[in-house]
Structure 1
């Protein structure tokens, strides 16, 4: 019964989030295979709407390419959206290489391109360095609705450490944090391996949470 209640609260909050962000302007990025897509928000945080690494027409990224590399226009990498979401959601900016090693190869011998559409959402952000605790709160402004959460490391500048050499530790905790925090006015955060396990050993990590304060559940 409690699980059903939490699921209902989460669904309602997500619907409220969607309604609040309908007016956000969409941005697009297109990059040919081998290049890097750069997404950025001057205000707010990235929320990826759609993404595909493949080929859907013969003209895009076709200069200098033989017809055989352009003929397959039904090339879709089904995990493209998840890849972009994990790497970019909840960040001010992100760069993702349009290469097979990131997205895998949905159509060998076809020259591909990455298409991404996204919007900049007016969210709050909390960063909790590994081994510390913090609290996110909406006070009297509503209840928490988690947008995205990651426990790992997506850049070198956050929670800096002299021994940090990698920034590709993606361990999405969005569902977990929604179960913990959605519908509450305050929520305790504990950035530790005992809570989230260790997605990348010997890397100093941090818990990154972007959220909004929804009025839908407030009284």
Structure 2
């Protein structure tokens, strides 16, 4: 059965439909999982809250350990990579990765960037060989995984062709490293107008939730047909 990896990255601890000042991105990611469970109740759900419990940032020791061949690592190196190993194992186990990631200052939260830095791992999620013909890097994550990016934005107009498209570094900042390690099938939805807190925000939330239901229906239909 498929495994869903559910990740939240918001600094806000609650969902906006349950808690005052709660997170819209947490609300959307929870709606996705709820809709998935309604259709496929026996699938495995893994949950990781990097917004409240962020991974440790990459350090010089981490880099030294990651680029040391596994059979040559000292105990301190294995310890330095232990959290990263757990995060990579979760990612490799998942068939669908759904991420609730708000826009902070035009990009992803620092907590989620730390997550990305921990899962983009030489020898585990991408390969590197200076002597390889052509491109020295290659993805190592098995093909077929689906990435769902559910975001929230204070302003509006960040989608392709709109006024702030060039200022949006959230979806590109997630798609690029995930594609680098081999996860190229991506779906994204976002809520806008958070800072306006008026009827436009409510309409954006309603539209996003309808789109989530439709996306889950498409993805689960593919699973049932496989």
Q: Shorter-chain TM-score: what band? A: under 0.3
- Asked which structure has the greater CA Rg, the reply is 1
TM-score (norm. length: structure 1): 0.26
Q: Which protein has the bigger helix share?
A: 2
TM-score (norm. length: structure 2): 0.26
Q: Which protein has the bigger strand share?
A: 1
